[in-house]
Amino acid sequence: MMPEFCGSSFLLALPDDVFSMISRSLSPRDICNLSLCCRSLCALVASEKVWLTQCDMVGTVPHRDLIEWRKGVSSYRALCRFLVNVKPLIGIWVHQNPELGNVVYVMPGFVSVVGCRIIPQELGPLGIEDGPILWAPVFEIIGHLDGSTTFFLHGREKANDYVYPGLVKYIEKNCNVLLLEVEPKQHKNGSKLFYSKSFAYNSDKEISIKISRSNSGLSRPEKVVAQFEAKVPFSRLAFSDRRKLIEVVTGHVGQKVPDSANGLFFPRLNEEYFHKDMAVLFERRSLLLHMEKIDGGHFDWKAAPELPCHPTQLPLSEIRKSLECSSGFPSSVNGGDIGRESITKKSLGGYFRASLKQILGKSPSRNGALANSKHSSSSSENKHAQLHDFLRSGDSIGLTLHASTVRLSSYRAWPNMHDSRFALYKLPLKIPKPDEEYAGLWGGTFGWPPGKPTEDKPGKALFFLLISYEESEGRRQLIATKILEGTHYVLHPNGSAMFIANIDEPSQDPFPWDVDADSVPVNIEHAFVGEGIANGYGFRYPGSKPGSLFVIQNGLLAFIWKESRAVLTMQRLDLQELLKKGERVPALQPIANFSYLTKSYSNVFAGLSNNATSLSSPRFDFSDIYSTI
């Protein structure tokens, strides 16, 4: 190699197309680091071709869609920033309540990702592939011109669709919990919440360092005191306070969705309408970003006017009163930093003593005396943070979406969840491998032929099953976990195993039918011994009965209970494809729409009717929308 073409000179001498191919071996972080080497390399890696290649490598959006998405951002680099940030959200999210099903699938929209709730439903006469899947919007995360993100919660009030703007906290790469929270924000000293707008994911430590810099103007004693004023996490508040805070915020930031922005959420499958759909989606995104309130939906809770609210909601006057009545803080809500004067007057020794007592589980009572240790250990003040402690860290509050990684235990691929968290939990959807070829999401119905209604049963319940593999006592087991059920009233709890098959133990039972619905001979490739769900010791503790799992040549699975001869037939599902062909139904009120925390055994998402095939679904005349563009 010639000396003049060594190092950076060699890279600079390469054509753009060649360098973009080489960049496939680099990550976005690597390319950003390369741009720091010298000005010439900085200009080279700023190439649109390089960042288009990186967008392709993220794998979230097809190449043709990327070309259209580029029209909504400033560059492919900005688009790549957005794609890398939201990629961990793509997939299936669930919550335990209601038992009939709370399955949310996050998929690409237009410079956005959309959380779509699958409505528990029965299949129509066309079956799974051709019958429309009913769904309702839960939330959207939309990319700005620079690739940063904003959050919109969807809901419905007074027979109208509403959106509730908020901020997106940093999204962790391996996030498994999606939390709807309220976040305080400080305006007076110019500090802001720090959310990642780069390819690096900020840790809690990094964020705390940035926030601590906002105290650089304080004296040394004030800095020491500020270190003990740890920001109270939203999760530490009592459930009633968390629920009421979210209700207050949604009541103030909600905006009615205009008809022009109430149509498509993602392009349909019909190739003929692709470019028209993209034009509609571009206009809709522009309208939603225009509707986003200043500062990400935050509002000053001290100066905001009172709004009429439901009797169960917490009016703003109560929030203000909670600060005025709190011990150790003055009632000057409208002036200066709350409690700053009283805090700085404390001696450091007294502050350290109070902090030590708090660590030991002892706290001073309102009159200054120490409470009985036995009483204090059982008091709600030790279990939950106080509302005034949470609110004093900011003068405005707003919605945030927080995608975090927590340690979760699970049973048969179903996570153990908190019943009092406004949260969705991600299901580990594994890619099939040679030794786990049946892993993934399947749709199932009872009866044979599969998915076809009969005269006595015009509609059949649709089940979503997540198939995973486990090893027990040296034997490999295939477990089909129920995550959605389309019956009128739930028969089996969420997370229960519809059947378990021992894939190392062949079954000798014959398949009862010789032909399928099209009179084509049935060819059984494999059969395994297993057990299927049955009535046991109650709803929470179902029993099991013997059966067999059959693998049919056309990609179908069928589990047959040996005694009853009942058959559950399954086929693989492509949720993105089904949703693009599906029909949208109205959402619930905003908080319940994100996570329905009330126990229910009936279909709360289906509106007035439990029969999904008779649900009234908003239909849109897209020709009218096209004419406005």
- Listing DSSP states for 374-440 in one string gives HHHHHSHHHHSB-HHHHHTT-SEEEEEEEEE-----EETTEE---TTS-EEEE---PPPBTTBTT-E
Bridge partners for 179 per DSSP: 402, 423
In CATH, the number for domain 3-87 is 1.20.1280
User: Which two structure tokens, joined as six digits, stand for 601?
Assistant: 């055994």
pLDDT of residue 191: 42
Quote the CA–CA distance of 421 and 596 in Å, as a whole number: 10
By CB atoms closer than 10 A (0-12, 13-18, 19+), residue 322 is middle
Look at residues 92, 145, 144, 87 and name the one whose alpha carbon lies nearest to residue 113: 87
Q: Which pLDDT band, with edges at 50, 70 and 90, does 275 fall under?
A: very high
Which residue type is seen at 608?
L
Rg (CA), the chain: 28
CA gap 157, 399 in Å, rounded: 18
Per-residue confidence at 205, pLDDT binned at 50, 70, 90? very low
Higher pLDDT, 199 or 483: 483
d(CA 181, CA 422): 8
Give the contacts of 495 (CB within 8 A, at least 6 positions apart).
96, 411, 412, 414, 481, 482, 483
The mean pLDDT of 21-45, rounded to a whole number, is 72
> What is the tens place of the pLDDT at every residue in 458-516?
678 899 999 999 988 888 999 999 999 998 888 888 899 999 999 999 999 999 998 88
User: Do residues 175 and 405 touch, judged by C-beta distance below 8 A?
Assistant: yes
The secondary element (H helix, E strand) that includes residue 10 is helix 8-13
Are 440 and 430 in contact by the 8 Å Cβ rule? The answer is yes
pLDDT at res. 271: 84
The yes-or-no verdict on residue 4 having pLDDT over 70 is no
Q: Which of 145-149, 293-297, 549-553, 579-583 has the lowest mean pLDDT?
A: 293-297
User: What value does the mean pLDDT take over residues 546-575?
Assistant: 93
Confidence of residue 43 (pLDDT cuts 50, 70, 90): low
Contacts of 447 (CB under 8 A, 6+ apart): 454, 457, 460, 567, 569
DSSP state of 614: G
CA 320, 324, 329, 335 dihedral sign is: positive
pTM for the whole structure: 0.79
Q: Is the pLDDT reported for residue 160 higher than 70?
A: yes
Higher pLDDT, 47 or 293: 47
- Per the model's pLDDT, the better-predicted residue between 317 and 400 turns out to be 400
Give the mean pLDDT of the chain: 77
Identify the band that residue 293 occupies on the pLDDT scale cut at 50, 70 and 90. Answer: low
Residue 580, classed as helix, strand or coil, is helix
Q: What is the pLDDT of residues 99-152, one digit of tens each?
A: 988 999 999 999 999 999 999 988 866 567 666 789 999 999 999 999 999 999
The candidate with the shortest Cα–Cα distance to 23, out of 32, 81, 38, is: 32
Distance of alpha carbon 128 from alpha carbon 125, whole angstroms? 9
What are the pLDDT digits (tens) for 359-377? Answer: 444 433 333 333 343 343 3
Q: What pLDDT is attached to residue 36?
A: 66
Report the DSSP beta bridge partners of residue 550. Answer: 527, 558
The 8-class DSSP code of residue 539 comes to T
How far is CA 535 from its chain centroid? 33
Range 422-427 average pLDDT: 96
List, in sequence order, every residue forming a beta bridge with 502; answer none if it has no partner.
477, 529
Identify the helix (H) or strand (E) that includes residue 243. Answer: helix 239-253
Split at pLDDT 50, 70, 90, the class of 392 is confident
What percentage of the chain carries pLDDT values higher than 90?
43
Provide the residue ranges of all domains of the chain, joining segments of one domain with +.
3-87, 301-392, 430-574
Provide the pLDDT for residue 302: 62
Residues 285, 288, 293, 296: what is their CA dihedral angle, to the nearest 10 degrees? -50
Cβ distance 493 to 99 under 8 Å?
Answer: yes
Is residue 84 predicted with pLDDT exceeding 80? Answer: yes
Length of the chain in terms of residues written: 629
- Give the distance from CA 587 to its chain's centroid: 16
DSSP annotation of 3 reads G
CB distance 570 to 444 below 8 Å = yes
Give the Cα-Cα-Cα angle 626, 627, 629 (nearest 5 degrees): 70
Q: Which amino acid is at 471?
A: E
The pLDDT score that the predictor gives to residue 429 is 84
What is the pLDDT, as a whole number, of residue 542? Answer: 87
CA angle 142, 147, 152 (to 5 degrees): 20
404: confidence class by pLDDT, cuts 50, 70, 90: very high
- How far is it, in rounded angstroms, from Cα 135 to Cα 121? 10
pLDDT surpassing 60 at residue 30 = yes
User: Residue 328 pLDDT > 50, yes or no?
Assistant: no
